[in-house]
Amino acid sequence: MGMPSDMTGKAALVTGAGGGLGQATAVALARAGADVCIVDIKADGLAQTAALVETSGRQAVVHIADLGVAENCAACVTAAVDRLGRLDALCNVAGILRLANSHDMPLADWNLVLAVNLTAPFLLSQAAIPHLLKTNGAIVNVASLAAHIGEAYAAAYCASKAGLVQMTKSMAMEFLKQPIRINAISPGGMATPIGASFVPPAEADAELLARFRPIRGLVEVADMAEMIAYLASDAARGFHGAIIQMDNGITAG
Ligand SMILES: NC(=O)c1ccc[n+]([C@@H]2O[C@H](COP(=O)([O-])OP(=O)(O)OC[C@H]3O[C@@H](n4cnc5c(N)ncnc54)[C@H](O)[C@@H]3O)[C@@H](O)[C@H]2O)c1
């Protein structure tokens, strides 16, 4: 896509960086000049991402953490700042999807989706903001088209992503008078490993599932990652409290 992102001399933290969009985001930030603290629950994926970041000539700090556990979140920010000396961007990319009939969904699944998709970005932001205030940095949250339309069998996922959108806007208002920037992107379908979690309940209604089919095709993961890197960079200075719906038209109507 060729977005004008320059992160030279900056440090970023990317969650979900063990694969998919998080890995592509870490690489896009490194290519833009940033050193990157990469966080995921998957050690093998992080090792691969670290190699890609280093190939771009930037430093990778690997931090393995389960973001479903609240106590682990602030430690990610501490690791980034301790090892990289500063923090200019927090990219909350990690996310999980669980589909179920709402009346059958185990409470544990509901709680896990909310913990990883909504509570972790809040706790990471909470820990990162004091550092971002020092660097005039940015937060980029990854929501979903599911924040903007109701998707059948995805009540927890939709609620978590809609919550993330409103959290983004609320924090943007809170920091309207400071130079830090807080934005979100809402991707449409991309070809990433999360697709394996798209397992509708038995006897799901195909007509309802078709309502959020990507008629115009999937969005390129690399394009989405470049958009995140752009929003993290100073080039995006006009964006604050924005929710970028980059979904190939699915939520247009
Ligand atoms: N792929 C799509 O079609 C799509 C569409 C809309 C939004 N999204 C969002 O994009 C983001 C990235 O997803 P993706 O498509 O790259 O999928 P993915 O499954 O490849 O990436 C998600 C990453 O988060 C990590 N993760 C999951 N649970 C974790 C935990 N408890 N602690 C730490 N890390 C954890 C996974 O290990 C994985 O590397 C997610 O927030 C997802 O909801 C994806």
Query: In this structure, is residue 253 part of a structural domain?
Result: no
Nearest to 214 by CA among 168, 149, 160: 149
The reply to whether 164 falls in a domain is: yes
Residue 148 lies in a domain: yes
Q: pLDDT value at position 110?
A: 98
Burial 172-200 (b: 16+ CB within 10 A, else e): beebeeeebbbbbbbbbbbebebeeeeeb
DSSP 8-state code for residue 116: I
Q: What is the span of the domain harbouring residue 216?
A: 11-246
Atom of ligand 1 nearest to the CA of 157: 43
Cα 175 to middle of ligand 1, angstroms: 27
Atom of ligand 1 nearest to the CA of 115: 31
| Dihedral of alpha carbons 116, 117, 119, 124, sign | positive
Take residue 47 and report the two structure tokens written for it: 């090792």
| Residue 15 placed within a domain | yes
Q: Is residue 251 part of a domain?
A: no
Instruction: Report the candidate in 155, 177, 157, 163 with the shortest Cα–Cα distance to residue 125.
Output: 163
Determine phi and psi for 166, rounding to 5 degrees.
Answer: -70, -30
Q: What is the pLDDT of residue 150?
A: 97
96 lines ligand 1 (CB under 6 A): yes
Q: How many CB atoms lie within 10 A of CB 36?
A: 33
Model pLDDT, residue 4 = 83
CATH number of the domain encompassing residue 95:
3.40.50.720
- Ligand 1 atom at minimal distance to the Cα of residue 69: 31
Amino acid identity of 91? Answer: C
Considering only CA atoms, which of 142, 141, 137 is closest in space to residue 233?
A: 137
pLDDT of residue 3: 78
pLDDT tens, position by position, for the chain (253 residues)? 777 889 999 999 999 999 999 999 999 999 999 999 999 999 999 999 999 999 999 999 999 999 999 999 999 999 999 999 999 999 999 999 999 999 999 999 999 999 999 999 999 999 999 999 999 999 999 999 999 999 999 999 999 999 999 999 999 999 999 999 999 999 999 999 998 989 999 999 999 999 888 999 999 999 999 999 999 999 999 999 999 999 999 999 8
Give the number of domains in the chain.
Answer: 1
Q: Which atom of ligand 1 is nearest to the CA of 18?
A: 39
The two three-digit tokens of residue 13, written as one number: 């933290």
* CB of 121 closer than 6 angstroms to any ligand 1 atom: no
Identify whether 36 is part of a domain: yes
- Tokens 């009540």 map to which residue? 155
Q: Whose CA is nearest to atom 34 of ligand 1?
A: 40
For residue 4, is it within any domain? no
List 140's β-bridge partners, or say none.
Answer: 91, 183
> Could you tell me the distance, in angstroms and rounded to a whole number, from the CA of residue 194 to the centre of ligand 1?
6
Q: Does the CB atom of residue 190 touch ligand 1 within 6 A?
A: yes
Is 252 domain-assigned? no
Residues labelled catalytic: 157
Instruction: Evaluate: CB of 37 within 6 angstroms of ligand 1.
Output: no
Binding site membership of 41 for ligand 1 (Cβ less than 6 Å): yes
